[in-house]
Amino acid sequence: MGDENQEMRENYSEVVDADDKKSLVFNEKATEGQKGNLSSASCNFINSIIGSGIIGLPYSMRQAGFPLGMLLLFLVAYITDYSVILLIKGGNLSGTNTYQSLMNKAFGMAGYMILSFLQFLYPFIAMVSCNIISGDTLTKVFQRIPGVGPESILAERHFVIMLTTFLLVLPLSLCRNIVNFGKVSFTSLVLTIAMLVIVVIRVATLGPHIPSTDNAWNFAQPNAIQAIGVMTFAFICHHNSFLIYGSLEQPTIKNWTRVTHISVFFGLFLNVAFAASGYITFTGYTQGDLFENYCKNDNLITAGRFLYAITIILTFPIECFVTREGVVAAIPLVFIIPTACYLKLSEESWCHWDSIQSFIVLITGILVMIVGFVMAIMFPQGCSHGKEMFYCMPSNSSMYNLTGSVNETVS
């Protein structure tokens, strides 16, 4: 046992010093294909972070309270950054190059089976979500085309999902190496920024017309724990970490730390901007899917819906890469498993700062998962889906002015 621990320490020391060694290769599987630079890896990582979860962040502000929600968003971003780096450190400590192998090394076959289930479950759910969102969103977009009504085949969700799957999702998912996906991820990032610009424009042009709600700016709201689950879903990227790390030309802790800091910071910027813009516009009326808040006849938002659908389609293959390797799945993958593995494998004392942080994150993750799950069962949150909000109704006099304002702005 002592020899094994000594070997782990030597492996870790070798990796820590490897920033000065240009030929270090960590992920043997990735060496068989093309290698990518820091910018390509960062684009893929950001694309993994900015997925379907971004659309629910304004709603998390409603659940938590806007001031507390912003603080929690920064906290979740910090934990994501810390735990992603910790995950790769754990891989180096154990001499493993996949998430499953790390868990197997730390907790044996039982840990391997649990992680494999979660590692498959989360991206699988994300891919199903991508299909549903793209189908629902694009059907609304197509119905804004003259001559396309509710009875048209382009308004049929299953047909639209099948069409996008064969034309876009399937060819992209057949990519053999994640490095080749860098340009696609960059395109997705540009479209996300364009979508954000549209949402920000509507803060100024639509926000003043939305009726105010009581307690909209309270510091905290009762559902803050559930809001953490929504935020964690928006930030989760751990299941892709080993794949992206192994795609680097020089997979060192130093380079990985740079990629992680850049990606999480940029993801945080976009998430904060989107969450704030959406909530400021609708406050207490904010829905789980922000685009459900906007009126159907808003042409600018129709463009935003189209951009969102395309970004979701371009995110799908990133999740597919993980399922090809093999809020209940998100919390363990972000808070619990990386810290548990590190604490199990690390030779640092419990007084070391990394050990203290890891233990705090571990306990926090367990509490959030349990309390969030109980609250979701006992106090389910309802939201609108496919219905026009009351302020969009023509019978509403304020809506009449609002519709004219929106259409006038768009034209």
Check residue 72 and give its pLDDT.
Answer: 95
Residues 6+ apart with CB under 8 A from 379: 223
CA distances 50 to 54, 191, 198, 266, Å, are: 6, 11, 17, 10
Check residue 357 and give its pLDDT.
Answer: 82
Nearest-5° Cα angle at 383, 193 to 57: 30
Check residue 364 and give its pLDDT.
Answer: 79
Check residue 178 and give its pLDDT.
Answer: 65
Domains and CATH numbers, the chain: 30-410 (1.20.1740)
**Strand ranges, E, within 175-265:** none
The tokens for 230 are 């929504």
What is the mean pLDDT for each group of 10 consecutive residues in the chain (411 residues)?
50 43 40 66 84 84 95 94 90 84 84 76 72 82 87 88 84 69 82 94 92 89 86 80 85 91 93 95 89 88 91 67 47 70 78 81 77 65 64 61 43 32
Q: Are 206 and 402 in contact (CB under 8 A)?
A: yes
> What DSSP state is assigned to residue 248?
B
Check residue 203 and give its pLDDT.
Answer: 94
d(CA 405, CA 411): 10
Check residue 331 and give its pLDDT.
Answer: 60
Q: Are 184 and 43 in contact (CB under 8 A)?
A: no
- CB-CB neighbours of 162 under 10 Å: 13
Check residue 15 and give its pLDDT.
Answer: 41
pTM greater than 0.85: no
Q: Is 36 strand, coil or helix?
A: strand
